[in-house]
Amino acid sequence: MSEPKLTLTIAGNDASGGAGIAADLKTFAEYGTYGIAALTVIATMDPQNSWSHNVTPIDAQIVKDQLTTAFAGPAISAAKTGMLPNPEVTRVIADMLKEHPETPLIVDPVMVCKGESDVLNPENVTALKEYLVPLASIITPNLFEAGQLSELGLLHSLDDMKEAAQIIYDKGAKLVVIKGGKALEGEDAVDLVFDGESFTLLSARKIPSANSHGAGCTFAAAITAGLAKGLDPVEAIRKAKHFVTEAMQAGFAFNEYVGPVFHSGYRLNRQSEI
Ligand code: PXL
């Protein structure tokens, strides 16, 4: 067997296992890459209090030390970022990634968890724009996040998405994927890909009453692993969309509050369990 490709996630722990590093590492394993995680926050949810989220940041120096460890082995073939707690941590990550321009970076600009109304504080959005967007090989905002990053506010249509994609591209991301998801009207979940020259639309049927917690993290992690394995960006995005669609179809109700995707859905649809 040839040596595995290394993939790195710089993200939070979702203690319920659907999103964050749990989603990323499981997805990396499904793709057959060797996953490494640098933890940025610990997110816990309170079953006694309507599943309200509590996010504990990891100290910036510890985030830096984890990245030093992660980069001390063979070259990392692709890296991704997820939930980041504050500008200091975002900056430390950007500084470290600048030292590794050979590693493509997928930025998932996580701003809010599904079902939570608290939006990340504005300083974090500014830090993302300033430090990470310019380093992104691919950035994967949902409609809300694309509205924030582009400063256009709420996006409602494909034309809005195109305008936002151009603005985010102009801030330095080399490829922008805006996930229309179920928020955009119509029967299909439409994603818009923009490489600075042309727009590509990727569609999949919306999955009714999907258990979709962790879908965004899983999508970005699947793109990361696809790039690590040598797929070109648009192929990696297409494959990731199939992967996440089947993970959503295999999703389940964890409890009355949350239904995660099942990250092994794509493989289990093709082969039986071990
Ligand atoms: O789905 C967004 C997300 C990302 N990362 C972590 C999370 C969540 C939502 O719960 O907990 C760690």
Regarding the beta carbon of 14 and ligand 1, being less than 6 Å apart is answered yes
Query: What's the pLDDT score for residue 34?
Result: 98
Regarding the beta carbon of 216 and ligand 1, being less than 6 Å apart is answered yes
| Residue 144 confidence (pLDDT) above 80 | yes
DSSP letter at 243? Answer: H
pLDDT digits (tens, 9 = 90+) for 218-272: 999 999 999 999 999 999 999 999 999 999 999 999 999 999 999 999 999 998 7
The CATH number of the domain covering residues in 6-268: 3.40.1190.20
Give the mutation target among 113, 114, 142, 261 for probing the ligand 1 site: most ligand atoms within 8 A of CB.
113
pTM score: 0.97
Which atom of ligand 1 lies at the shortest distance from residue 41's CA?
12
pLDDT digits (tens, 9 = 90+) for 82-104: 999 999 999 999 999 999 999 99
For residue 120, what pLDDT band results from cuts at 50, 70 and 90? low
The share of the chain scoring above pLDDT 90, in percent, equals 88
Regarding the beta carbon of 110 and ligand 1, being less than 6 Å apart is answered yes
Query: What's the pLDDT score for residue 118?
Result: 55
pLDDT digits (tens, 9 = 90+) for 130-139: 999 999 999 9
Q: What separation in Å is there between the alpha carbon of 196 and the centre of ligand 1?
A: 29
pLDDT digits (tens, 9 = 90+) for 44-86: 999 999 999 999 999 999 999 999 999 999 999 999 999 999 9
| Residue 124 confidence (pLDDT) above 70 | yes
**Cβ neighbours of residue 25 closer than 8 Å, sequence gap 6 or more:** 9, 35, 37
Regarding the beta carbon of 109 and ligand 1, being less than 6 Å apart is answered no
Output the average pLDDT for the chain: 95
Query: What's the pLDDT score for residue 137?
Result: 98
Q: What separation in Å is there between the alpha carbon of 232 and the centre of ligand 1?
A: 27
For residue 115, what pLDDT band results from cuts at 50, 70 and 90? low
DSSP 37-96: EEEEEEEEEETTTTTEEEEEEPPHHHHHHHHHHHTTSSPEEEEEE----SHHHHHHHHHH
| Token pair 């749990």: residue | 22
Q: What separation in Å is there between the alpha carbon of 142 and the centre of ligand 1?
A: 14
Q: What separation in Å is there between the alpha carbon of 203 and the centre of ligand 1?
A: 24
Domain boundaries, given as residue ranges, for the chain: 6-268
Query: What's the pLDDT score for residue 68?
Result: 98
For residue 186, what pLDDT band results from cuts at 50, 70 and 90? confident
For residue 274, what pLDDT band results from cuts at 50, 70 and 90? low
Q: Which helix (H) or strand (E) holds 28?
A: helix 20-30
Query: What's the pLDDT score for residue 44?
Result: 97
Q: What separation in Å is there between the alpha carbon of 198 and the centre of ligand 1?
A: 31
Long-range contact set of residues 120-125: C-beta below 8 Å, sequence gap at least 24: 123/86, 123/87, 124/84, 124/85, 124/86, 124/87, 124/90, 125/149
Poorest-pLDDT segment among 5-14, 78-87, 116-125, 212-221: 116-125
Q: What separation in Å is there between the alpha carbon of 86 and the centre of ligand 1?
A: 15
Which atom of ligand 1 lies at the shortest distance from residue 21's CA?
12
Regarding the beta carbon of 180 and ligand 1, being less than 6 Å apart is answered no
| Residue 28 confidence (pLDDT) above 90 | yes
Regarding the beta carbon of 82 and ligand 1, being less than 6 Å apart is answered yes
DSSP letter at 4? Answer: P
CA–CA distance, 21 with 71 (Å, rounded to integer): 17
Poorest-pLDDT segment among 10-19, 109-118, 163-172, 191-200: 109-118
